[in-house]
């Protein structure tokens, strides 16, 4: 397996969490031409949204389980050097931790709200 360089500050993923992931994923497939691919979450499916080439560019997720409390909006995931230290800085600088720490795919992430109210995920 090839070693992939992780660049601090890079936006590495984006997804949308909504109550109706089936309908909203259909909306984006029709509007922007993405192809949806079901991803089993056990008793329901979330969706990878793929380019014609098959490359996955985003996800559309149901607001269930661990995502139940996330606001409906596109969420970017940004790589940081030390996610726990960055989460501490969020609070020190007047932001809020909305979710986390959460481990997924061997990575730890937090969903944060900055002092202006914008939401972002940080992970490492």
pLDDT at residue 71 in the model: 85
List, as one string, the DSSP characters of 27-57. Answer: HHHHHH-PEEEEEE-SSSEEEEEE-TTS-EE
| Structural domains in the chain plus CATH codes | 1-14+71-124 (3.10.180.10), 20-62 (no CATH)
Cα within 13 Å of Cα(45), Cβ side: 11
The whole-angstrom separation of Cα 89 and Cα 78 is 15
- Give me the pLDDT at residue 2, please: 42
pLDDT at 3 over 60: no
Report the pLDDT value the prediction gives residue 4, as an integer from 0 to 100: 53
Q: Which residue has the tokens 């090839």?
A: 2
Q: What is the pLDDT of residues 24-71, one digit of tens each?
A: 999 999 999 999 999 999 999 999 999 999 999 999 999 998 888 888
Tokens 């031409």, located at residue: 33
- pLDDT per position as a tens digit, 68-124: 888 899 999 999 999 999 999 999 999 999 999 999 889 999 999 999 999 999 999
């Amino acid at each position: 397996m090839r070693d992939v360089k992780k660049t601090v500050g890079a936006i590495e993923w984006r997804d949308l969490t909504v109550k109706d992931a089936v309908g909203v994923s259909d909306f984006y497939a029709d509007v922007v031409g993405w192809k949806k691919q079901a991803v089993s979450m056990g008793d329901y499916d979330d969706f990878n949204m793929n380019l014609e080439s098959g490359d996955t560019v985003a996800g559309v997720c149901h607001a269930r389980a661990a995502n139940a409390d996330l606001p409906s909006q596109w969420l970017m995931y940004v790589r940081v050097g030390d996610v726990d230290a960055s989460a501490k800085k969020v609070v020190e600088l007047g932001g809020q931790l909305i979710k986390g720490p959460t481990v997924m795919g061997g990575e730890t992430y937090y969903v944060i709200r900055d002092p202006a109210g914008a939401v972002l995920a940080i992970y490492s």
